[in-house]
Amino acid sequence: MAVQKLDAIDGMNQRQNKCFFTSYPEMNEVLNRFTAEAEADDIWTSAEVQELKENRSGNRLCQIVSMALDTAKSNCVETTPPRGRYIRIRCRDMQEQTLIKIQYSCEDRMIREFDKGIIKMRDLIDSVGGYLKFQLDGDKGIIKIAVPDN
């Protein structure tokens, strides 16, 4: 039996008008605004963010996630044809930290480590004692964020 693989854009067409909900209302606004913008750019989005909650970093966590998502979106749009664009957001709590992983389609692109947005994101993460890592793995980019809960 043959299994047909859906292109990212076909998957997006089946998932219009979705909303993400966490226990953190400000983060819901960030995620849902981002999703609407991403869908306008033909980017399929998925998120496992139920564990995302407000922590001691307060509004800075929303800023960090927003900047990371914007970085992923711009890399995705600049490097990937519309039918292959995707962004996956995963979150979990582990060892008194909020861990966020953003994976996105990224073809033939170097991450500009000295981009003003990335520098500001690093400064925000440093101010809360967190961790930020960018990776390119084949045709995907990965942004890993860890922010202490206490």
Statement: residue 145 has pLDDT above 60: yes
Report the 10 Å Cβ neighbour count for 27: 22
- For 110-141, the pLDDT digits (tens) are 666 557 778 888 999 998 899 999 988 888 99
For residue 28, which phi and psi values (nearest 5 degrees)? -60, -45
Band of residue 11 on the pLDDT scale cut at 50, 70, 90: very low
> How far is 41 from 47, CA to CA, in rounded Å?
17
CA 43 vs CA 8, 19, 60: distances in Å? 7, 15, 25
Amino acid in the structure at residue 143: I
